[in-house]
Amino acid sequence: MNEERLQYVQYHSSKESTYLTAIRQLISNDLSEPYSIYVYRYFLYQWGDLCFLALDEHDNVLGVVISKLEPHRGGPMRGYIAMLAVKQEHRGKGIATKLVRMAIDVMIERDADEIALETEVTNTPAMKLYERLGFLRSKRLHRYYLNGNSAFRFMLFVKESAFTSRLGYDENDEDEDQPELPPSA
């Protein structure tokens, strides 16, 4: 079998006319949410450098990840993977894994504390992908999607401080109620 030559590129607004229609088509085929052009532009205009494409040798879009990074409620820097899609006939080749890793790497370079995403509870392949990459299920969101399906929120805690703050734990705090242990003999 002839192995395809893929190239992975960072989205750039100068290529909007080349790629935006293909990105929208791919995502509308794969994801249950009907996103308007404004949703794509919201992400791509502000965080295009956190969005990556997998292209074949003819520059056809085979996969895409769309992400953002910003402070979350005045707290940690939170990366967010908003959309991930790979053409059906190209799944199982590591394209989604590579795209997500590229987005994660740039978010970490930009000081992300944590990275969040949601996926439908019925999307087992996506859940397995995110769990292999170290994401943890953090909560179930009942009837989250317009189609009525529920979602799981997944979190990747990049820095220990982000994880411990979610647990309400501060390593500098001392628990006054805990008895002091005797020194080891």
pLDDT digits (tens, 9 = 90+) for 148-165: 999 999 999 998 755 545
- Token digits of residue 35: 């996103």
CA distance 68 to 50: 6
Residue 171 CB contacts under 8 Å (≥ 6 apart), including other chains: 164
Residue with tokens 């790979």: 86
Tell me the pLDDT tens digit for each residue of 100-150. Answer: 999 999 999 999 999 999 999 999 999 999 999 999 999 999 999 988 999
Tell me the pLDDT tens digit for each residue of 70-94. Answer: 998 888 899 999 999 999 999 999 9
CA distance 29 to 31: 6
- Token digits of residue 49: 């450098």
